[in-house]
């Protein structure tokens, strides 16, 4: 069984799109299609079906998927066993991912590579992109970003929700809150240049409303601090509030109709990257994300 064909199958499954998978593998879409057909021929089974939403696994595809991951995992372990000398690796991350996705992924990655010296640097997406282009890190977890010299591979869709202090009357009402009520409250605008904030503003404008923004902030910690002090409410990515929600410092406010806005987190790396651990880290990161979704 050809390892490239198995990896191609995994990429199409992960990205739910032949074109994006081909770009991430640095091959043409016809080459990717040829790899999938070759794999299906060797297994005498149809594994994937294209549909309007992207790609769907067939029943036999679902059966084969865990074996594909095992095969790829064995291949990565074989690669690692052949590496002898101590090496170093620098991974970049935005702060919210460095406290949620990254810890579990790094732990598993380090367990498999005890000889590897790993450094993590954190910054905002724009800064992390600059560091990647300057080769200060080999790859990074950021918000979705575009640049002609990088691959931006989506790994997680982080829902955007409204958060408030537990004593805020939005929480105490114990019911869904409408956009009209939200427009009257002091609102913290976190990351005003983000794509999801533009979507939030559009949600208000469709209802002919203007959000009552009292703070424009680009620091996640500052935004959370204002919520905890009960000085305002804020739309934030849910992943960033995991700890604060578990400790009861903030509460999620149910909204009707729901916003259905998400922040796309991605793994970014240079096109034709030669980073030797890129494939393995992506493999572990996807498994970590799968656990988060469960």
Residues sharing a CB contact under 8 Å with residue 158, sequence separation 6 or more, in sequence order: 96, 237, 238, 239, 262, 263, 264, 265
Higher pLDDT, 1 or 129: 129
Write b or e for each residue in 267-284: b if 16 or more Cβ atoms lie within 10 A of its Cβ, otherwise e.
bbbbeebebebbbbbbbb
CATH number of 40's domain? 1.10.10.10
Q: Would residue 134 count as lying in a domain?
A: no
pLDDT 10s digits, 22-44: 887 878 888 899 999 999 999 99
* Minimum mean pLDDT range among 55-59, 111-115, 154-158, 215-219: 111-115
62 contact partners, CB below 8 Å, separation of at least 6: none
pLDDT at site 122 = 93
Asked if residue 184 is part of any domain, the answer here is yes
pTM for the whole structure:
0.72
Overall number of domains in the chain: 2
Half-sphere exposure of residue 87: CA atoms within 13 angstroms, side-chain side? 13
Among 64, 82, 100, residue at a domain's last position: 82
- Cβ proximity of 211 and 217 under 8 Å: no
- R_g of the chain computed on alpha carbons: 22
Alpha-carbon span 260 to 248, nearest angstrom: 24
DSSP state of 177: B
Average per-residue pLDDT for the chain: 88
- The full DSSP string for 58-126 is -HHHHHHHHHHHHHHHHHHHHHHHT--S-EEEEEEE-HHHHTTHHHHHHHHHHHH-TTEEEEEEE--HH
Residue 151 falls inside a structural domain: no
CATH of the domain at 173: 3.40.190.10
Please name every residue paired with 234 in a beta bridge, in sequence order, or none if there are none.
163, 188
Confidence of residue 235 (pLDDT cuts 50, 70, 90): very high
Q: Which residue has the higher pLDDT, 223 or 115?
A: 223
Range 64-90 average pLDDT = 79
Query: What integer is the mean pLDDT of 153-182?
Result: 92
For residue 168, give every residue at least 6 positions away whose Cβ sits within 8 Å of its Cβ, in sequence order, or none. Answer: 230, 233, 251, 253
pLDDT at 83: 60
Q: Which of left, alpha, beta for 198 (phi over 0: left; psi -120 to 50: alpha)?
A: alpha
Q: Which domain holds residue 234?
A: 158-261
In this predicted structure, what is the pLDDT of residue 76? 77
- Domain end marker among 33, 48, 82: 82
Task: Return the closest-CA partner of residue 22 out of 13, 38, 37, 33.
Answer: 33
Burial class (CB in 10 A: 0-12, 13-18, 19+), 14: buried
Q: What is the model's pLDDT at position 16?
A: 87
Instruction: Compare 86 and 237 and report the one with higher pLDDT.
Output: 237
The dihedral region occupied by 212, where left means phi > 0, alpha psi between -120 and 50, and beta the remainder, is beta
Q: Which band of pLDDT confidence, cut at 50, 70 and 90, is reported for residue 294?
A: very low
């Amino acid at each position: 069984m050809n390892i490239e064909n198995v990896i191609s199958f995994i990429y199409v499954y992960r990205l739910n799109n032949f074109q994006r998978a081909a770009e991430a593998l640095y091959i043409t879409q016809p080459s990717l299609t040829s790899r999938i057909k070759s794999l299906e021929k060797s297994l005498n089974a149809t594994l994937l079906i294209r549909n309007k939403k992207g790609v769907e696994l067939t029943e036999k595809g679902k059966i084969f998927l865990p074996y594909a991951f095992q095969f790829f995992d064995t291949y990565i372990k074989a690669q690692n066993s052949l590496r002898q000398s101590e090496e170093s690796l620098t991974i970049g991350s935005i702060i919210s991912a460095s406290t949620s996705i990254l810890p579990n992924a790094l732990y598993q990655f380090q367990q498999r590579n005890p000889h590897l010296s790993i450094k993590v640097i954190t910054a905002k997406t724009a800064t992390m992109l600059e560091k990647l282009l300057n080769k200060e890190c080999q790859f990074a977890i950021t918000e979705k970003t575009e640049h002609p010299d990088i691959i931006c591979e989506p790994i997680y869709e982080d829902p955007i929700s409204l958060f408030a202090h537990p004593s805020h009357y939005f929480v105490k009402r114990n019911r869904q809150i409408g956009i009209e009520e939200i427009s009257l409250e002091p609102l913290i605008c976190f990351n005003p240049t983000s794509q999801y904030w533009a979507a939030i503003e559009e949600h208000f404008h469709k209802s002919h409303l203007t959000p009552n923004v009292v703070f424009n902030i680009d620091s996640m910690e500052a935004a959370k601090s204002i919520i905890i002090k009960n000085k305002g409410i804020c739309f934030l990515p849910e992943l960033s509030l995991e700890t604060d929600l578990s400790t009861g410092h903030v509460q999620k406010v149910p909204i009707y109709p729901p916003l259905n806005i998400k922040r796309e987190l991605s793994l970014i790396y240079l096109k034709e990257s030669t980073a030797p651990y890129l494939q393995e880290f992506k493999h572990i990161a996807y498994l970590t994300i799968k656990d988060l979704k469960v």
